Structure formats: C-alpha cells, structure tokens
Structure 1
Amino acid sequence: MRWKTGKVFRIKLVTGAHAYALSLKDPELAFFNCFNPDATLEEIISSGVLWRLWVMRQALKEPTWELLCEIKKIPEPLQQEVTRFKKDPITGKYSLYIHDQETPASKEQCIGLERAAVWSSNHISDRLNDHLAGAENVWDVSLRP
C-alpha cells in the first residue's frame, strides 16, 4: 500500500478491541484514544491523540490493519510537526529533532518526547494493548531518555 496522508486505519488488537490511526506526513501516524470497533470518524478524531509515531510502511499491509476511509482535511494540530529526541549511541548526547534539524539538548529537555524511531506493527500493537491494560510498555520504556 502506498503512503498517502489522510488514511484512517482500524487496527484489530489481540484483546478483540480496535484502535485507530491516521496517516500524516510519511512516515508518521497519529494514534487515537478510541477503542470502540463501531466508532464513527467524528468519535475517533475527537477522542484525542495518544501518540504520534513514525511507522514502518509494512505495518499498513498487515491483515489486522484495515483501511477505513480517507479524509481530505487533516485537523490543524496534526498538520504541525512535533519535536522528537535523539540520543547518540556512542557519545550519549541528546538532541531535539524537528523540521529535519537537530539541536543539542539535555536529557531533561527530552523527557516526555517520543524518540525519533520507526515502530513496527507488532510493537505498536503491544503498546496499544498495554495502554488498554493500564500497563507500562516495554518498547516505550526502552526508548525513553
């Protein structure tokens, strides 16, 4: 499946619940705080965003990811890029990443931000399932500053 901004996906989770994501600028998806399998588009969008993650394109081809529809107008807040952080694996130094630019940062400045990392579908499913269960997610924890 080709990447296109505005695609809305319903993701079937192992618990039987469903999650929803909206494709933004390649490779980013917004994941919503909606798990009702019969949710309307309005309910999905108004539920609030849990996370904005970079996602491997392969995820969009998973049988558990169903294309529901395409929307033409992305909500304004989701049109803006978000700041992510990076940590150099050799030096351990942190940086903030936005608009294809990095600026030095402290660890404290990176707390609460998503790491500039691309997620696979199984790790996303784990994170969604853990969120529903109220549990900490091992993949999210491993990527924190």
Structure 2
Amino acid sequence: MKSDLDRIASKPILFKIAVRHLVPGSWEVIGRRTLEESLTQPIVYFRQDVGDFRRCEICDTADNSRSADPEECVGLEPMAVWDEHHVEERLLDTFMGRPSGIVERMKVRLQ
C-alpha cells in the first residue's frame, strides 16, 4: 500500500476542492499520509454574483476575502461543494482529455 501512496503523491495535484460528506464505503480508503506543507496552505477560490457578473470576490479557506474584478478570478476554482459523483466525473474528464461540463458551467463570467 505504501508504494501506491508514494506513486499517487508523486503526481501533480489536479485541483483542490471541498467534497460533501462521503457516504460510508463509497470511496475506499487506501491509506493515510501526512500532508506536505504546500498542501496545508489555504485554498483560494472565487464567487461571483449571479445577478451582477461584475461583482466578484476572491476568498480562501482561512476566511480571507476581498473584492475582485472578474478577470482576476480566471483560473481559480469556483466556491462550491462537490458531490462524489461530480468529482469522479471531473477526474474522468481530465484523464480523458476532455473539458468538464461542470467546470465550464461554473467558470467566471466576463463582461
């Protein structure tokens, strides 16, 4: 098992997101590792007003936030909590080299 964890940990991080509580047994736990320092840093994300797309905010998981222009939010994760099946779909889309419909729908909207 340790070699599997080492192999997985050697790969680049695709995305950092919040996942809704897992249904017991839905994902198999294959082991535990201490997180590297870089992975313990706050996760930065954006939220955008659906009524006025010009209003955006950049936030992080340490409760810091500031107003931002939509252009500043390009490339950031949207503020969202993902269900398990959506995470699996996003991973599959990534590994298959195709755009994720979920990610596309949540991208920041520019003027």
Q: Which residue of 2 aligns with 1:110?
A: 73
Three-state SS of the structure 2 residue aligned to 1:69 is: coil
Q: Which residue of 2 aligns with 1:88?
A: 49
The amino acid of 2:30's aligned partner reads L
Task: Indicate the structure with greater helix content.
Answer: 2
Whole-angstrom CA distance in 2 between matches of 1:101 and 1:89: 21
Q: Which residue of 2 aligns with 1:31?
A: none
Query: Aligned residue pairs: how many?
Result: 104
Three-state SS of the structure 1 residue aligned to 2:47 is: strand
Large movers: runs of 4+ above 4 Å: none
Whole-angstrom CA distance in 1 between matches of 2:68 and 2:41: 21
The amino acid of 1:85's aligned partner reads F
C-alpha deviation, 1:62, in angstroms: 5.1
The amino acid of 1:96's aligned partner reads I
Q: Which has the higher contact order (CA 8 A, sep 6+)?
A: 2
Structure 1, unaligned runs of 5 or more: 1-38
Three-state SS of the structure 2 residue aligned to 1:40 is: helix
Q: Indicate whether 1:43 and 2:4 are aligned.
A: no
Task: Indicate the structure with greater strand content.
Answer: 1
Give TM-score scaled by structure 2 length. Answer: 0.86
Q: 1:91 to 1:76 in 2, by over 3 A?
A: same
| Aligned mate of 1:55, from 19, 22, 33 | 19
Q: Which residue of 1 aligns with 2:98?
A: 135
Three-state SS of the structure 2 residue aligned to 1:96 is: strand
| Aligned mate of 1:126, from 89, 92, 97 | 89
